[in-house]
Chain A
Amino acid sequence: MDEKDLRTIIEQVLSEMNVGGAAAPAVEAACAKACEASNIEDGCIPDITEVDIRTQYLVENPEHGEEYAELKFNAPCRLGIGKAGARYKTLPQLEFRAAHSAAQDAVFNDVDEDFVKSQNLFIVQTQCDCKDTYLTRPDLGRKLSPEAVATIKEKCKKNPTVQIYVSDGLSSASVAANIPDLLPAILQGLQNYKIDVGTPFFVKYGRVGVMDEISEVTGADVTCTLIGERPGLITAESMSAYIAYKATVGMPEARRTVVSNIHKAGTIPAEAGAHIADIIKIMLEKKASGTDLKL
């Protein structure tokens, strides 16, 4: 909106208020003030997502502030953040909304295809045609599209000992944040044990259950999916590995072994990868997974 539009509006409002032509100086003044207020300053406001909520303690005049702050340091929780009347203070309110937005972005955004390619992964898709289908039809997210089956059959090594693949699941942010550390760490760990690994790839719109079909298509002994977890308000970047021995479509959920909470503030991805390689080794030795496998 430029100055001219502004002037028109102000004049209109004043005339509706019945102030008349005598108000011309008032129009000038109001207009000048409004334009002045839109001056843009240099500099930045602090990034509220940079605040470590474990160290944030905002209660005014606390009785045991030091002790509360020390207690709080143990976990990232939204406690001891004070209040304004009956409501949140401005900063915690904004932080909360920022965290919520990050969580929504993680769910609704797609993983960048260039990133996937940079990790040497080819892309296949489940029977979901878009994000909305993915979110509303979990059953379709557990089935590969016919093209995906064909691509996997064409490009992947047959009957590998271990088949690893990556999937967006409910957090695309998680894939970008963890895969560059997690995947090579698993591969290196398996290389350490001289365990043969199939061709890794990426599944778009994938639910955990699609690993059963992938296991059948590739003929792998152990199938491992690295999938984005449903984001929370502490991190949107958490990833899980679901691993199963000879997974088959329709098998009980209890046959999956899971390693969750993989992210930079949880189990760091590189170390988690080395740990997952160990689990796979044990799985191959004991020929079992999930609740049948005691780790």
Chain B
Amino acid sequence: MHRGENAPVDSGCLFSGPITKGKRVNALHEVILSVGIDIGTSTTQLIFSRLTIENRASSYTVPRIQIVDKEVIYRSLIYFTPLKSNTEIDAEAVKKIVRDEYQAAGMTPEDVRTGAVIITGETARKENANEVLEALSDLAGDFVVATAGPDLESVLSARGAGADKLSHDHRTTVANLDVGGGTTNIAVYEKGTLRGVCCLDIGGRLIKVDKGRVTYLFPKIQALAKSHGIDLKVGDPAEEQKLRQICALMADQLAQSLHLKKMDGDHMGLYTNDGKPLPSEPEIRAITFSGGVADCVYQQMEDDYFRYGDIGVLLGQAIRSNPDLQTVQLFQAAETIRATVVGAGTHTTEVSGSTIHITEDRLPIKNIPILKVSEEDEASLETFRTSITSQMPLYKPEGKVEQIAIAFNGGTRTSFAEVQDLAAAIIDGAKEVIESSYPLILVVEADIGKVLGNAVNVLLDYKKDVICIDGIKTLSGDYVDIGEPVAEGHVVPVVIKTLIFNS
């Protein structure tokens, strides 16, 4: 803000460097490639995107490195997710899809610096889901993280659809409904901030139709229809009028989940894995749609309603004409059927603060559980220490300490003396980690990463590998992945995986 006495008016750095597309690009800017792979209930997709990392600070202040641009540069074909049986994913076929798409895009796993493989919807419930994730994660690149879970899917699809940006730009509350084959994932953003997620068993492929007959019917949907006096079972003729009535019931349930209509007796049973509904606040003022059914909401689809062998087109029309959903504004989503994969490819990675302390040869590290010291426990150093020691047993499933990351806010201890005391408390509390062969990993929110790392290092007599990053917000139960440094070693890419947001 204030130039110092004799501060050089150094505009050289601000305006030099390559100019692309009329955008001002700082001297320190770096592009990293990110991949997103989504294996969903009905489709499997892949995208590559370019993340531009740039120092936004002037050359006479401490660097402030941020992701300034995200651009999708390659979109794969959309494949039906290959299944071996109703309970098993065809792993080999999935691998082939990924390998072929990498080739078509002209990419190798070595080119890709970050990204996410996400397994979503019903597919995540298949027996070999984890195995497939692991296999793909290695195929896709060194720092591509494997992840799953309905809450994360809600967030990624909403960000891919641009609901976060719409809510920020229009200063309003936007819910994105990602209506897929097996589930509808909802995330609510208020002025750019996530306010809630939920997931319902409502989707376009919960009733499948072939040659004029119903060939598959999800039990919860059958029950929903039945409670409204509509009888349907596998093998019945696919009567358009009857299926329209069922789709209208499903759309009505979506309106209830957004608190646009009073919840009825059927509603609570429709949440995936007995999940919770959205909070009643903030009030939703606008909606976007993504997922396979979204295009049937936004566009009029005529002629063959069963062209996809399911009720997707009818469900889309039912949602569009639902009177309760019409009471809020409808925004066009930035992405529809590709929202989740775009979210996975472009929105999972963040960068750490620009002044951090790392031990480079220990990176990257993946899937590290977070031991979080709550803000209440940060009040005194004594409670800080006991918070670590009392939680530690939770991270010793076999009685032996595993790799963990200790996370806290740190905002109340920013003076040099306070940082020294904090370092001592951490060392005392995390004795078991320090005695193990794992590095000591600290994830801090306040901008004290480097000075705290130095303090710990000095107190431990430089005998322990210390990784101390800042600018990262975490919650208890999160997992963290930390990549190799970028932007000339100033920052590390970080992926925080929030797997149990809603439970």
Contact = CB atoms under 8 A, between A and B. Distances in A.
Contacts of B12: 291
B161 interface: no
Interface stretch (B215-223, B248-256, B385-393, B414-422): B414-422
B106 interface: no
Contacts of A209: 6
Interface stretch (A20-28, A150-158, A256-264): A256-264
Main SS class of interface, B: loop
B2 A232 contact: yes
B171 A260 contact: no
B5 A266 contact: no
Indicate the member of B3, B4, B171, B357 with the most A CB atoms within 10 Å. B4
Interface string A186-216: 0011011000000000000001110000000
B60 A207 contact: no
A238 B2 contact: yes
Nearest to B62: A267
Interface in A29-70: 66-67, 70
B2 A274 contact: no
A125 interface: no
B7 A240 contact: yes
Interface string B1-27: 111111110101000000000000000
B415 A208 contact: no
B448 interface: yes
B451 A240 contact: no
Contacts of A238: 1-2, 4
Nearest to A254: B8
Interface stretch (A1-9, A92-100, A177-185): A177-185
B366 interface: no
B474 interface: no
B462 A192 contact: yes
A163 interface: no
Contact of B8 (A70, A231, A253): A253
A246 interface: no
A277 B357 CA distance: 12
Nearest to A239: B4
A271 B469 CA distance: 12
Contacts of B176: none
Interface string A215-244: 000000000000111111011001110100
A169 interface: yes
Contact of A169 (B5, B63, B171, B355): B5
B29 to A, nearest CB: 13
Interface in B169-213: 171, 191
Contact of B451 (A70, A261, A264, A271): A271
A261 B448 CA distance: 16
Contacts of B2: 229-232, 234-235, 238, 260-261
B449 interface: yes
Contacts of A256: 8
Indicate the member of A185, A234, A239 with the most B CB atoms within 10 Å. A185
Interface string A60-89: 000000110010000010000000000000
Contacts of B374: none
Given A268-B414, A291-B12, A274 B454 contact: yes
Interface size class on chain A is 35 or more
Given A67-B171, A181-B416, A185-B416, A270 B451 contact: yes
Given A189-B454, A192-B454, A271-B451, A260 B60 contact: yes
Contacts of A266: 1, 61
Given A181-B415, A240-B7, A259-B60, A271 B449 contact: yes
Nearest to A232: B2
Contacts of B355: 271, 274-275, 278
A44 B451 CA distance: 39
Interface in B56-92: 60-63
Nearest to B490: A295
B447 A271 contact: yes
B5 A229 contact: yes
A290 to B, nearest CB: 8
B458 A188 contact: yes
B450 A207 contact: no
Contact of A258 (B8, B419, B447, B450): B8
Indicate the member of B6, B415, B455 with the most A CB atoms within 10 Å. B6
B448 A268 contact: yes
B457 interface: yes
Contacts of B63: 295
Contacts of A291: 10, 12
Nearest to A194: B462
Interface string A260-295: 110010111111111101100000000000010001
B415 A270 contact: yes
Contacts of A275: 62, 355, 450
Given A260-B61, A270-B451, A192 B5 contact: no
Contacts of B3: 229-230, 260
Interface in A106-129: none
Given A192-B462, A260-B60, A274 B5 contact: no
A188 B455 contact: yes
Nearest to B470: A271
Contacts of B5: 169-170, 207-208, 227-230, 240
A67 B191 CA distance: 10
A235 B4 CA distance: 12
Contacts of A180: 415-417
Interface of A: 66-67, 70, 76, 169-170, 180-182, 184-185, 188-189, 191-192, 207-209, 227-232, 234-235, 238-240, 242, 253-254, 256, 258-261, 264, 266-275, 277-278, 291, 295
9 contacts: A185-B454, A188-B454, A189-B454, A229-B2, A238-B1, A238-B4, A270-B419, A271-B447, A273-B416
Nearest 3 A/B pairs, CB to CB: A240-B4, A274-B450, A229-B4
Given A230-B3, A230-B5, 11 more contacts: A70-B191, A188-B416, A189-B450, A242-B6, A253-B8, A259-B60, A269-B416, A271-B62, A271-B451, A274-B357, A295-B63
Interface of B: 1-8, 10, 12, 60-63, 171, 191, 355, 357, 414-417, 419, 447-451, 453-455, 457-458, 462, 488
